Amino acid sequence: MVLLAQLSDLHLDGTARTADRASRAVEHLRALPTPPDALLVTGDIADHGALAEYELAARLLDLPFPVLTCPGNHDVRAAFRQGLLGEAPSDGPINRLHLVGGLAVLMCDVTVPGRDEGVLSEETREWIDEALGGLAPGTPSVLAFHQPPVPMHHPLPDEGRLREPERLAALVERHPDVVAVITGHAHTAAAAHFAGRPLIVGPATTWTLRLPWEGPDAADRDQPPALAYHVVEDGELTTHFRVLP
């Protein structure tokens, strides 16, 4: 069994509010009697893409278990690399393969600099295909990235969802050991199917999306931060959501 925690959409912007909400989520994870095998942070870590926002994120996410990250549409790749990953700044896609127990976790970059929507670039598509193809047969894997490839039924996240999802679907269908797809971006916990696999959208720490039938204002800033736990066992995914006190 592999236990993955997920945070998404911290939107650290230099204010006490966003830092406090992210800290509450991180301290909740730090205090768990049994820590997760890894924490996934699925994008929009910074709000403005400033170096100082990533330096704060690096301090907050300094945890005694692996922290796996990918960028979102608010993130800036060069500053992300420098301030959060401790790497030389550059503007290419940030794609990383991590082995967590017997599970392969692909943190994928489907962002387009300066735009809200996601796109599976040829570079990232080839990287995913090669990474999955290079795993030992039967190795379960998870794809994690920012923009969901399915509609959330709200114009705000749907305007910025992953474009041409059929390209990703064809890739997933070629690799039967992909257990699930995990995303963020929508600021609402959601579950769907994609290419015959579970698709989980993690909740946000900064604010919660108010859906059209819940009221006219999209951003519900009174809801507390939330997170997800993903359990992968015997090639199956189970997800639990938690709203923090």
Q: What is the pLDDT along the chain (245 residues), one digit of tens a residue?
A: 999 999 999 999 999 999 999 999 999 999 999 999 999 999 999 999 999 999 999 999 999 999 999 999 999 999 999 999 999 999 999 999 999 999 999 999 999 999 999 999 999 999 999 999 999 999 999 999 999 999 999 999 999 999 999 999 999 999 999 999 999 999 999 999 999 999 999 999 999 999 999 999 999 999 999 999 999 999 999 999 999 98
Q: Are 151 and 48 in contact (CB under 8 A)?
A: no
Report d(CA 207, CA 167) in Å as an integer.
Answer: 31
What pLDDT, on the 0 to 100 scale, is given for residue 24?
A: 97
Q: Which tens digit of pLDDT belongs to each residue from 27-41?
A: 999 999 999 999 999
Could you tell me the pTM of the whole model?
A: 0.97
Task: Take residue 79 and report the two structure tokens written for it.
Answer: 């500053």
Burial 181-218 (b: 16+ CB within 10 A, else e): bbbbbbbbbbeeebbebbbbbbbbbbbbbbeeeeeeeb
Residue that has been written with the tokens 């959208």 in this structure: 201
Chain-centroid distance of CA 206 in Å reads: 14
Q: Which tens digit of pLDDT belongs to each residue from 141-158?
A: 999 999 999 999 999 999
What pLDDT, on the 0 to 100 scale, is given for residue 7?
A: 98
